[in-house]
Structure 1
């Protein structure tokens, strides 16, 4: 689950961050506003955005001001609303990608027999429900990892390294099942595909210097550096803190995917839910 979530997040972030000047918190504020727009379009106070995302009020206020200046949001009585919708480009493409990356995640979980059984609803499925679930899943993962990754950009960089270094395992159902948990047999080093800082920066649309500064504090914690680049630290993944975050993410995942089933998601024919088709993996197979 953690590997597949990392792949999903990397796909979405690599498309979205360049549109938000590489500001992860700004993108998350915007996605939360989009989520609330899909729920009825009521204005959201800046303080409520800050509380929901665990951000300082002043930081949130600055990001909101930038979104308003960019014409993506507007101030209304009671707070902030989005202007650009999921029907407007380039945000329509990001919304479609967020949806289809979630469908790919669900499809791959089923492929390795890791998807819980959910009741099938006769309710017609609308892709906006998938976008809501995708946003909720990303927000819940960020909350679950607040103690392990105090900064969202650190979490995004960690996820990108995980998606890159473990892509052989993700692409092979047999390997995915064999090395599914930290308690499984040790992952042979030859299965890992390390990634270098310039490639991370390229994928996320960030500067090398920004990524390098973050990596310097992640190495010897969540990440390890070797001759070929960066990969995840298996010892860190097995810590109680990391296991707790993973357990919370799994509980949130079951809840969100169960709710998605009640909204008509076709778990009996997952591939039929794609809006534009299965997205390519961010680093290939």
Structure 2
């Protein structure tokens, strides 16, 4: 694990926590992950088509329902490492709220939701967080060489940037899931990593514990849920319990899994930035 990996992880896990806590279209973090996974599967064929990427890149042009490929509940459960019954129950609830459509072929996030005011607002706010994240990395000298733009556009393709961001969130979740074991523990681990790596810059070198209540409020979970999953992280040796709350100790960063997680994160961030550069987003940011 390099010093660069740790500094980059501090910025990126704080950013990831903000994204997960804010959700998509007002959804809670777990439902938001489900919607991201479903939508990314729906549009996977379109992301390999240059013309389709150009056609559906702006905020007011979501891909039409007929161009979306349904995904099965089994596939969604497998991709997120969730129990099938949890996914089935939540997707049926999302369908009742018209956040997704269900058919014999599977689930689809419809264009009506992707064009809704709540979703558009969450995308715009997420885009601003993404821009700040890039600025922070650039100021810290963490941005490596990026490819030139492959698209000629005068406007910032905000929807295209949102798809690239969703890819990053889902890829990051894979590594976090490997360490945490389930989605709720994953969310708690992100909060603890963000706090631990943030405190590396403190003059006294002291890491502050994060209270169960604070994590619960940030992630819109019950304190009992966070307490239970925090206990699982303690059992796995990923954090320790103190009088003030939960804390990731330095020795946890020496675990092979944690070293792998931070190295993968650095690669995933570079992939995100390369995609943004290729799509013309970073050129637009730098020219603003």
- TM-score when normalising by structure 1: 0.78
Question: Is the counterpart of residue 203 in structure 1 residue 195 in structure 2?
Answer: no
Question: Is the counterpart of residue 2 in structure 1 residue 9 in structure 2?
Answer: yes
CA distance in 2, matches of 1:88, 1:18: 8
Go from structure 1 to structure 2 and tell me whether the alpha carbon gap of 1:7 and 1:244 turns closer, same or farther (over 3 Å shift). same
Go from structure 1 to structure 2 and tell me whether the alpha carbon gap of 1:209 and 1:146 turns closer, same or farther (over 3 Å shift). closer
CA distance in 2, matches of 1:147, 1:165: 19
Go from structure 1 to structure 2 and tell me whether the alpha carbon gap of 1:266 and 1:140 turns closer, same or farther (over 3 Å shift). same
CA distance in 2, matches of 1:108, 1:70: 37
1:132 CA displacement: 0.8
Q: Deviations over 1:203-235 (max 9, x none)?
A: 111111111111122236222233433322221
Matching of residues 247-266 of structure 1 within 5 Å: 247-266=263-282
Contact 1:195 1:228 in 2 (8 A): yes
* Residue matched to 2:32: 27
Q: Deviations over 1:218-271 (max 9, x none)?
A: 236222233433322221112111111222222233223212211112258448
Contact 2:152 2:280 in 1 (8 A): yes
Go from structure 1 to structure 2 and tell me whether the alpha carbon gap of 1:263 and 1:160 turns closer, same or farther (over 3 Å shift). same
1:139 CA displacement: 0.6
Question: Is the counterpart of residue 81 in structure 1 residue 112 in structure 2?
Answer: no
Matching of residues 12-161 of structure 1 within 5 Å: 12-16=19-23, 19-20=26-27, 22=28, 24=30, 26-36=31-41, 39=46, 40-76=67-103, 78-83=105-110, 84-121=112-149, 123-124=152-153, 125-161=156-192
Contact 1:123 1:262 in 2 (8 A): no
CA distance in 2, matches of 1:262, 1:140: 19
- TM-score when normalising by structure 2: 0.77
Q: Deviations over 1:159-191 (max 9, x none)?
A: 11232344355xxxxx49xxxxxxxxxx9543x
Go from structure 1 to structure 2 and tell me whether the alpha carbon gap of 1:219 and 1:270 turns closer, same or farther (over 3 Å shift). farther
Go from structure 1 to structure 2 and tell me whether the alpha carbon gap of 1:167 and 1:255 turns closer, same or farther (over 3 Å shift). closer
1:57 CA displacement: 3.4
* Residue matched to 1:179: none
1:97 CA displacement: 2.8
CA distance in 1, matches of 2:249, 2:161: 32
CA distance in 1, matches of 2:70, 2:142: 38
Go from structure 1 to structure 2 and tell me whether the alpha carbon gap of 1:260 and 1:17 turns closer, same or farther (over 3 Å shift). closer
Q: Structure 1 stretch 126-135 or stretch 224-233: which is displaced more?
A: 224-233
> Per residue, is there more helix in 1 or in 2?
2
CA distance in 1, matches of 2:25, 2:272: 28
Q: Deviations over 1:105-132 (max 9, x none)?
A: 2221111111111033163240112111
